[in-house]
Structure 1
Amino acid sequence: MSLNRRDFLKNSAAVAAAGAVGITVPQEAQAAAAKAESKWRWDKAACRFCGTGCGIMLATKNGRIVAVKGDPAAPVNRGLNCIKGYFNAKIMYGADRLKTPLLRMNAKGEFDKKGKFKPVSWERAFDEMEVHIKKALKASGPEGVANFASGQYTVMEGYAAQKMMKAGFRSNAIDPNARHCMASAVVGFYQTF
């Protein structure tokens, strides 16, 4: 289906007007949706796109996620998801999703910062990290390494990362992405909830 800008605006205006006067989705469409959903398995999960941990419901069919909605019983988001939450499953099936480590390599198959990304095994990726972390620690001490951490860490992953950096490498240079990602979320929460 092709939709130009004019048709998009006309359809959007029609939907907005219908919503304003209380017109609902036709019963046939509601019945078709309910029939499709009856074959799905719904499970609860926590959204991992940021550190907030909103409750989501995931529908699966034949082992694949087919729908996502907010969990009305979750106290954090009370059934409402942000745009990232609604598209949570898309990351699993995206064409550009990384499924294996990539390493910049030269023509000889050696690590090269200016090389091209090539798929490598997990063992090779961890071996490369080990070499470069040891090199940085030897050259600069604890100030030579840092960890820019994820807002998607579980509590246990965050604990392990803290222990690795502070006890293992003796470095306090660990920081989450909260300054970038969560700052906008907090402003949104204040305005929404």
Structure 2
Amino acid sequence: MPQPEGATVVNLISLIFGIIGTITGIGGLVVAYLSYKAAEKSNKTANNAVAKAGEANQISRDANTISRRALAVTEDKSIYDWKVHLDHDARAATVRNESSEAARDVTVVVRDGDKTLLQEEIGDVAAFGQFTLDGSLFLNAIAADQAHIDALNRGDSGVFFAAVGTAHATFHLSWNTPAGVPRTQLIEKRFN
């Protein structure tokens, strides 16, 4: 069946619009795909920026912590003085904090020359507080030194040594102030 002339024109116009619609649809898909890829790239860049911002915030927090610590060290004017006393009867060495400030995380190392005699973690010591250590090490050293002196005096040399037995020790104290500032003190003692 032959088609009227107008119908062919309409079919041709419909075909043209169909082709234009297909091209437009394909173009839309291409643009959508490119937009999707651009959005992925933008999200990746944004995630990297967020990660870098997190790192920058951590660096800032660390810097603030260091700054606060430096300020505490600068402002901490506390003065400490420790004294050591040997009680022969109690066979104990007493270490006293002569400061009006508490001492935190106190550690003591007692040495005689290169030899470590005692090492203890004491903990916290109150202002004007004290702690005791076993004094038998020092008392035994005093007794041994006195025995040596007595043996020399019993000898036939004709020389008399007017001396008493002694023990030497160096106390290495370390602690933190209430502001967290580390401190140390070295006390050299001669007991008799």
TM-score bracket for this pair, using the shorter chain length? under 0.3
Identify, as 1 or 2, the structure richer in strand: 2
TM-score (norm 2): 0.20
TM-score (norm 1): 0.20
